[in-house]
Amino acid sequence: MKSSERKKDLLAKGPEDLQKELMELLSVQFKLRMQKATQQLTNTSQIRRTRRDIARVRTLQAQANRATSGAKA
């Protein structure tokens, strides 16, 4: 999936779905790190892709929090 498609997919999700996605990505990241440590990981680019997806989700969550905080003020 291209990064632009991934961004559109994440933008369509609600806050609860973003939290679920973040938890899944963190779990995947942990598993990839363990595979790398035990020399079982063949495609090391997965780590980078997962890390960037985590950053995308956290950025969207921060933007949503700022938007709701700005609306309350």
Q: What pLDDT digit, counting tens, does each position of 19-48 carry?
A: 999 999 999 999 999 999 999 999 999 999
Angle at 49 between CA 44 and CA 63, to 5 degrees: 155
CATH class for domain 3-72?
A: mainly alpha
Predicted confidence (pLDDT) at residue 54 exceeds the cutoff of 70: yes
Name the band, by pLDDT with cuts 50, 70 and 90, for residue 6: confident
- 45: enclosing H helix or E strand: helix 45-72
pTM over 0.75: yes
* Alpha helices (H) in 12-44, listed in sequence order: 15-37
- The CA dihedral of 67, 24, 5, 60, to the nearest 10 degrees, is 10
Domain ranges of the chain: 3-72
Tell me how far apart the alpha carbons of residues 28 and 73 are, in angstroms, rounded to a whole number: 37
